[in-house]
Structure 1
Amino acid sequence: MISLRCPNLIRLKLRGCRELTDLGMAMFAKNCRGLKKLSCGSCSFGVRGMNAVLDNCYALEELSVKRLRGITDGAAAEPIGPGVAAASLRSICLKELYNGQCFGPLIVGSKNLKTLRVFRCAGDWDMLMEAITEMVTGLVEIHMERVQVSDRGLAAISNCSELEILHLVKTPDCTNMGVVSIAERCKLLRKLHIDGWKTNRIGDEGLVVIAQGCVKLQELVLIGVNPTCLSLGLLGANCPNLERVALCGSESIGDEELSCIASKFVALKKLCIKGCPVSDHGMEALAEGCPNLVKVKVKKCKFVTAEGADFLRARRGPVTVNLDTDAMEPLDASTSDGGVDTGAYNDPVDGQVPVVVNLPSSSNGRSSMSKARLGFLVGRNFVACTFRRS
């Protein structure tokens, strides 16, 4: 059982805490009510431990959860939240949870939530997204990766008129119809990432409406999607702030499409082409267009040679050109590589130096605290605690 009294603790990262029970988490939560950021992965506590955090940590702003081992039955799992933390939560990330939908009451109750990320969580998310967006209309960023969501869920997401960032990664039930509903109502969209998983259910039809409705678009990533000059031309003409574009695994992106990009994408600064049937002729077209271009990445495009890359460099000296012909590298659009947290937990805040606490987990049943080694750095009210398995 972990008993850690850190009344000034504001950031906590838990990893592989096999001995951390609901009771231990409840005791911890009562001693650390001012906690603002919590990231936990592969821990043994369950619903009661999580609810204890939500009932006590009134200042919680960011919550990231990956593989909670204490919640074993998705159908019978008790609801999690909302608790007092719902009023302060701004960001929720759920990853690799068989029963992630038991967090529904927390998400629905978090009226001030701005960011929702759901990665590889089982269950039908359409109805839950309808319940969420009916109550939480201020969402600015939504990531859905390998979850069961369809056009019905996208129609619900379109109720978030303040949405600026949308990632749809490997959601095969989403089609042009759902993308159209987003385009028609989410006028503030700045970043759109779509991995169509080569299902050909999202293409020109949806992208044309995106070009017409989302004129503030700055970043577009299309993977396994096959746009043509029709949608690309409209995107270039109607989205004057479109600065970053990535086209990966798109069978329709050839030299003609690159010529369209070169002539229409005036604001473009960074372009990534990966696994597309473009050639050196496309590189020549880029050399004559995109006046603001500063960086080009070309990967796994077998018809682009070193000579084509050199030609682009010679004609556009300031432009950085990276050519990678490694055919072994997979085309993967996963946005969750590297885990739930973003590494921000180790950054000092307001010039303060973090206090780092390492609590190795015991492998022979003895208390973790009896083996803990505490290393302290000077700090006032900022503490970063990492629980690592020895």
Structure 2
Amino acid sequence: MVGESQGGVAMLRRSGGGGGGGGGDPSPPEIEHYLPSTVMATILSKLDVRSLVTAAAACRSLRACASHTLSFLPSVHLLEIAPTLDLLRPLLPPNPYLRSLRLDCSRLDDSSIGPSLHEICLLNCENISGRLLAELGNKCRDIRTLSVNSLAERRGISICFSDLEELLNGCSQLESLSLAVDASSFDDTKFGQAWASASQRLSSLEIGYIPISMLVKLLSITAESQHSLGRTIPPFFPSLQKLCLSVDYITDQLVSSISKALPALTHLDLQDAPIIEPISSSDLTNAGLQQINPRGKLKHISLVRSQEFLFTYFRRVNDLGILLMADTCSKLESISLGGFSRVTDTGLRAIIHSCSSLRKLRVSHGSQLTDLVFHDISATSLSLTHVSLRWCNLLTNHGILGLSCNKDLNVLDLRDCRKVGDVALRALSCLPKLQVLLLDNMDITNIGLSYLGSGKCPLVSLSLRGCRRLTDDGITLLLGGSTRLSLQVLDISKLPNLTDNGILRLARSRIPIVELRIRECAHIGDTSVMALASMQVEGGSHGSSLHLLDLYDCGGITPLSFRWFKKPYFPRLRWLGVTGSLNRDMVDALARSRPFLHMACRGEELGAVYWDSSLGWYRHEIEEDEVDELEQWLLEGEYRSDDDYDMER
């Protein structure tokens, strides 16, 4: 054990939990002498898996009690590591009380899941076949929430329509279904009819990608079931309120079909990614926007045209379409518009002034938006908490000064707003609730960082990626004030003037950074790695706070750095980005010695920072719990015997 767990073990040993004297003196009494087993079991039953394992590492008695507790634990959540099936078994004994299971399945293959679960969240299921869905339908008939990500993405692993059919037939209590898969795998003439057997309680449906031809047929059958006079067809999706889909094209026909087929919707999230420029009949126009919320029930709308394959926009929508939509959207609480390149200040101001309950506003690729959008926002009753204005290139400091009147701002994304600079940061530094600030590729200097460092905003996450005018001195100014008390996530990638000196200053500040990204910095080298490895926070172990470190394509990193990634250094590190070609043998050796460390060598982005696809808002989940004890227990596989503990005495 390392860090705090070492102190806990020592204390228990001194008080009789597993330690012992020498010279023939009798061993101190076990912990049960001070704490009855029934009381101990009651206490442990209140803990989660990570805390249970921490307790189990202390002594034989606690380990036995923790093992028993696992057999009636109501939830097991293991998303920070990716265990194999053999390593997972000790944590999943027969347990009739287990209701919630969340796993990273990247190291698992097809396996059985208990029948009594109510919530299942499975990430990185690329090695698991579509039979998983069928097994869930057959065994987990009481499941309420199901989320499956990347199912059967590995080449050669099958997924077919019958798997989906068995899932829908079996899970009659399902309330939320999220399948981040390519639904074209389910293409079948009976695809639409299969949803007749879906749970009548289903209120939330999310599908990673579905061809528009399949979707339109499903919506057509759904509309028929809703308006069937003789009720020869049972109603499809009678309770559906939330729909999140990715399609080929967002069109007028699609919007109209959704409005007719799903009258109870309160949350609509549509995203497309055209591979060719849409023609008029396969595009969204002003007429389509007018049909998007005919009953005025929608509270959340997200319409985004992705630039993944082609730089294209909603060219057939202008301010008139937004004005028509605003007439029926007075109840909106959040709106996300991406790729509406012909919408100007007039259209967006109509949304802002019509929706008094609006809290979250996201606009990307708003090439016509200017400072006038927020000119008189202080005269409204709006209290925005989340704002994203990425790639709105006409915005300047004046617009952000107007926006800063919203004192409840919690998340602000200004990435690629290249005309916004230090003056805006001075205003933002006074926001008392601002926790997440994304400033990638902006024209800010060290002076701007000094405003943030000495300001009032309790920043938890800050991204400065690509702000080319920043230097090492900026790091000192940023960490010189109150910001150092709250900052946990920092991205200082792609800063050409950042050197090892800047990282040394960061290490000396001893702030509890959880995630640090320094990718593509030519002057960052082995010295930075050694400084971070030796960094101590509040008496913890070396490098104790870092969960993620991204050093991809840093010019000064050599094989020497890999020595510092071995334990006891960076004990809580779960994500590491390096250049794989640096020394492949050393990378592979490190991966073998730390099997729960996610290694990324091809430049992929790391960690749990993401845009929530259902809302379009930045979320960041930071786990405060210790995970190194969990890793050790899993690696041990089986519980240690009494003799093992006796040898420690």
TM-score when normalising by structure 1 = 0.72
The reply on whether 1:132 has 2:403 as its aligned counterpart is yes
The reply on whether 1:202 has 2:474 as its aligned counterpart is no
The reply on whether 1:274 has 2:552 as its aligned counterpart is yes
Q: How does 1:160-171 map onto structure 2 within 5 Å? A: 160-171=431-442
CA distance in 1, matches of 2:447, 2:424: 11
Unaligned runs of 5+ in 1: 347-390
Match of residue 258 from structure 1? 529
Match of residue 462 from structure 2? 192
* Contact 1:35/1:59 (8 A) holds in 2: yes
Question: Any idea what the Cα deviations from partners look like across 1:132-189, whole Å, max 9, x if unmatched?
Answer: 10x2121111111221211112222223221111111111x21111121112114411
Q: How does 1:49-88 map onto structure 2 within 5 Å? A: 49-68=321-340, 70-71=342-343, 79-85=349-355, 87-88=356-357
- Specify the SS of the correspondent of 2:298: coil
The reply on whether 1:322 has 2:322 as its aligned counterpart is no
Match of residue 121 from structure 1? 392
Match of residue 25 from structure 1? 289
CA distance in 2, matches of 1:76, 1:206: 38
* Contact 1:144/1:167 (8 A) holds in 2: yes
* Contact 2:375/2:399 (8 A) holds in 1: no
> Residue 564 of structure 2 is aligned with which of 285, 295, 311?
285
Unaligned runs of 5+ in 2: 1-251, 273-277, 306-312, 536-542, 617-649
The reply on whether 1:176 has 2:446 as its aligned counterpart is yes
Using a 3 Å threshold, how does the CA distance of structure 1 residues 216 and 163 change in structure 2: closer, same or farther? same
CA distance in 2, matches of 1:218, 1:204: 19
> Residue 249 of structure 1 is aligned with which of 520, 530, 547?
520
Using a 3 Å threshold, how does the CA distance of structure 1 residues 104 and 128 change in structure 2: closer, same or farther? same
Using a 3 Å threshold, how does the CA distance of structure 1 residues 305 and 69 change in structure 2: closer, same or farther? closer
Match of residue 94 from structure 1? 363
Question: Any idea what the Cα deviations from partners look like across 1:31-73, whole Å, max 9, x if unmatched?
Answer: 23221111224443322332343343233122111222553xx
Task: Output the amino acid matched with 1:293.
Answer: L
User: Higher mean Cα deviation, 153-162 or 249-258?
Assistant: 153-162
Quote how far apart the aligned CAs of 1:249 are: 1.0
User: Higher mean Cα deviation, 187-196 or 11-20?
Assistant: 11-20
* Contact 2:553/2:579 (8 A) holds in 1: yes
Task: Output the amino acid matched with 1:170.
Answer: N
- Specify the SS of the correspondent of 1:248: coil
CA distance in 2, matches of 1:129, 1:307: 49
Task: Output the amino acid matched with 2:325.
Answer: V
CA distance in 1, matches of 2:588, 2:408: 47
Q: How does 1:1-40 map onto structure 2 within 5 Å? A: 4=259, 7-13=263-269, 18=280, 20-22=284-286, 25-26=289-290, 28-29=292-293, 31-40=294-303
Using a 3 Å threshold, how does the CA distance of structure 1 residues 113 and 188 change in structure 2: closer, same or farther? same
Quote how far apart the aligned CAs of 1:23 are: 5.4
- Specify the SS of the correspondent of 2:492: strand
Quote how far apart the aligned CAs of 1:233 are: 3.6
Using a 3 Å threshold, how does the CA distance of structure 1 residues 244 and 168 change in structure 2: closer, same or farther? same
Task: Output the amino acid matched with 1:157.
Answer: L
User: Higher mean Cα deviation, 102-111 or 289-298?
Assistant: 102-111
Using a 3 Å threshold, how does the CA distance of structure 1 residues 321 and 136 change in structure 2: closer, same or farther? closer
Using a 3 Å threshold, how does the CA distance of structure 1 residues 138 and 323 change in structure 2: closer, same or farther? closer
Question: Any idea what the Cα deviations from partners look like across 1:60-103, whole Å, max 9, x if unmatched?
Answer: 122111222553xx598784342331x32222111112212364
CA distance in 2, matches of 1:311, 1:257: 22
CA distance in 2, matches of 1:22, 1:106: 26
Question: Any idea what the Cα deviations from partners look like across 1:248-272, whole Å, max 9, x if unmatched?
Answer: 1112210111100111132112211
Q: How does 1:146-161 map onto structure 2 within 5 Å? A: 146-147=416-417, 148-161=419-432
Quote how far apart the aligned CAs of 1:131 are: 0.9
Using a 3 Å threshold, how does the CA distance of structure 1 residues 130 and 227 change in structure 2: closer, same or farther? same
Question: Any idea what the Cα deviations from partners look like across 1:258-312, whole Å, max 9, x if unmatched?
Answer: 1001111321122111111201111112325223223322136x5x312332454
> Residue 585 of structure 2 is aligned with which of 304, 307, 311?
307
CA distance in 2, matches of 1:245, 1:76: 40
- Specify the SS of the correspondent of 2:464: strand
Larger Rg: 2
CA distance in 2, matches of 1:255, 1:311: 19
Task: Output the amino acid matched with 2:465.
Answer: D
CA distance in 2, matches of 1:345, 1:93: 9
Task: Output the amino acid matched with 1:243.
Answer: V
* Contact 1:258/1:282 (8 A) holds in 2: yes
User: Higher mean Cα deviation, 153-162 or 284-293?
Assistant: 284-293
Match of residue 491 from structure 2? 221
* Contact 1:80/1:105 (8 A) holds in 2: no
CA distance in 2, matches of 1:94, 1:76: 14
* Contact 1:12/1:38 (8 A) holds in 2: yes
Using a 3 Å threshold, how does the CA distance of structure 1 residues 257 and 263 change in structure 2: closer, same or farther? same
Task: Output the amino acid matched with 2:597.
Answer: T
Q: Which has the higher contact order (CA 8 A, sep 6+)?
A: 1
Task: Output the amino acid matched with 2:298.
Answer: L
Using a 3 Å threshold, how does the CA distance of structure 1 residues 278 and 319 change in structure 2: closer, same or farther? farther
CA distance in 1, matches of 2:386, 2:615: 17
Using a 3 Å threshold, how does the CA distance of structure 1 residues 141 and 307 change in structure 2: closer, same or farther? same
Identity of aligned residues (%): 20
CA distance in 2, matches of 1:137, 1:26: 33
> Residue 414 of structure 2 is aligned with which of 139, 144, 147?
144
Match of residue 48 from structure 1? 320
CA distance in 1, matches of 2:476, 2:487: 13
Quote how far apart the aligned CAs of 1:247 are: 1.1
CA distance in 2, matches of 1:78, 1:93: 11
CA distance in 2, matches of 1:145, 1:309: 33
CA distance in 2, matches of 1:209, 1:183: 6
**Greater helix content:** 2
Using a 3 Å threshold, how does the CA distance of structure 1 residues 211 and 263 change in structure 2: closer, same or farther? same
**Greater strand content:** 1
Runs of 4+ that moved beyond 6 A = 75-78
Question: Any idea what the Cα deviations from partners look like across 1:104-157, whole Å, max 9, x if unmatched?
Answer: 369664732111111212214210000110x21211111112212111122222
The reply on whether 1:298 has 2:568 as its aligned counterpart is no
